[in-house]
Every structure is written in C-alpha cells, then in structure tokens.
Amino acid sequence: MTWQTIWEMISSACISIALKLLASFLVFGIGRALTGFLIKHFPKGTKKHPLDPTASNFIKNIVKTTLYVLIAVTIVSILGVPMASIIAVVASAGAAIALALQGSLSNFASGIMLLVLKPMKLGDYIETSSVSGTVSDLGIFYTTLITPDNKHITVPNSSITSDTITNYSREKKRRLDLVFSVDYATDTEQAKAVIMEAVTAHEMVLTDPAPFVRMTAMEASSLSFTVRVWCLSENYWTLKFDLTEQVKAALDRSGISIPFPQLDVHVKS
C-alpha cells in the first residue's frame, strides 16, 4: 500500500465525515426552524370549536418534544450509527431508565390527568396545601404558577394531582364574608341599616343572591356583625378592600364606635 493510496483513503474518509457533519447540521437547523414554525402556528381550532388553551399548550409541549427526538434520531442515522444497535441498547436499558425516571413518568401521567380531568386551566387561580398562584403553564412534567407578588413557582404535576386543589376562578361568582364590630351601646338595627346601606351602594355587589347583614356574635367587648355579599370572581379583592374602608367610614359618620378590647379591674382594699 503506497502513501498515495493511504492519503486517498484518509481524504475520502474526511470528506465522508465532513459531508455527514454538514448534513447533520443542516438537518438540525432545518428541523429546529420547522419545529419553531409549527409550534408558533399550532392550530387553535375553529371559531365554532376553539381548542382549549390548556390542552393546546400541553399538546404543543408533547409535539415539540417528539419533533426534537425525531431530529436527534435522524442525525444519529446520518452519522452512520446502526439503528439496530441503538434499538438494542435502548431496549436493554429500558428497565433501568424506567426506574430512574419513575418520578418523571409519574409527572407525565399526572399531566395527562390534569389535561383530561380539567381541575384547572390557564389563568385560573388555584391553591394546594403548599402553594397557590395563577396557572401560567401546564407542561409535560411541571405546572408553573405565578403568585400575586410575581414569583414563578414550578410544581411537579404529580404533587398537584395527589393534593387537594382549590380553584378560586372556576365559578363566575364568589361570596365575600366580612365581620365588623361595634360598641355594646350601639342600636343593633341602626348598625345593620348603616352597614347594609354602605354595602348595597357599591356597584360590584350583586343583588342576586341578596346581601346579608346580621349580628352574629356578642364578643367580650363588642357586638359582631357578619356581612355576606356576592360578586364576580375577578372583583373579589377589590370589593373586599373597598367595603372594609367604606363600611368603616359609614359607621364613623353615623357616630357608631368600634371599641378597643376593654378590661375592668376591681381593686379590693
């Protein structure tokens, strides 16, 4: 074997490797661009039957992952790695991978359950025993919540499905409960009338069901009046703050005092 023959073999091998690498880069670049295009223009259903945003987001994550896996398999095939060997290795390592990814598989299955059972959707404010926030993303393995102070909380899907979920956004209406305390010397009917007038004057308070104002407790140094009103779910916190301020102002205007805790001390000589 001459040096010329050796050089030709080396040159041929280098050219073959270079072409394979070039083809691999092209497949990766084109595949990544097409994946981004498909995800960006993912169908949203029809006007008559629009696709649920939560389901759409979950399916997009699955499609994106599947496409990247196909790109990786194609690149491996172009590089000349025997697919039979890869399949054999994957099959033999399947049990080990399943054990290692047991938590991830549980999260994936939980994500499917959340998509099918729909205890929540994107934009809902939910609460579990450990976290609370607005659902901003339902992924394959994790759900992302945004707290009122703009913190992002990433929660494993299995943690959500195994816990109690309180969804504050599912129903259109919510009931707001407030308690106001007044002095024992106050006329109870006057106090009820003043509080009711302040409550019904607010535009966010719904008339059906009707507002409720009654004296519900006699505390150590005050009479407690419970207020129950209904509002749209999105108005809950605004109404809570408004009524707290406005009822206090109405009681002040009517000369009804809100007592401080009192303690009578008797001194024996």
- Residue 107 structure tokens: 């999260």
- One-letter amino acid of 142: Y
SS (H, E, C) 19-74: HHHHHHHHHHHHHHHHHHHHHHCCCCECCCCECCHHHHHHHHHHHHHHHHHHHHHH
Say what the pLDDT of residue 84 is. Answer: 67
Which amino acid is residue 179, in one-letter code? V
Whether a cis peptide bond, with omega within 30° of 0, leads into 209 is yes
Q: For residues 183 and 222, is the Cβ–Cβ distance under 8 A? A: yes
Quickly state the pLDDT bin for 3 (edges 50, 70, 90).
low
Residues 239-256: what's their mean pLDDT?
93
Per-residue pLDDT tens digits for 29-86: 888 888 888 777 776 655 555 666 766 777 777 788 788 878 887 877 777 767 666 6
Q: Dump pLDDT digits (tens) for 194-229.
A: 999 999 999 999 998 999 999 999 988 889 999 999
Residues 6+ apart with CB under 8 A from 30: none
Provide, rounded to the nearest whole percent, the portion of the chain with pLDDT above 90.
34
- Are residues 191 and 222 in contact, defined by beta-carbon separation less than 8 angstroms? no
Q: Contact at 8 Å (CB) between 233 and 173? A: yes
Q: Which of 107-111, 213-217, 232-236 has the lowest mean pLDDT?
A: 107-111
Cα–Cα dist 44/222, whole Å: 58
What is the reported pLDDT for 23? 81
Question: Are the C-beta atoms of 223 and 182 separated by less than 8 Å?
Answer: yes
pLDDT at 17: 77
* Arithmetic mean of pLDDT over the chain: 83
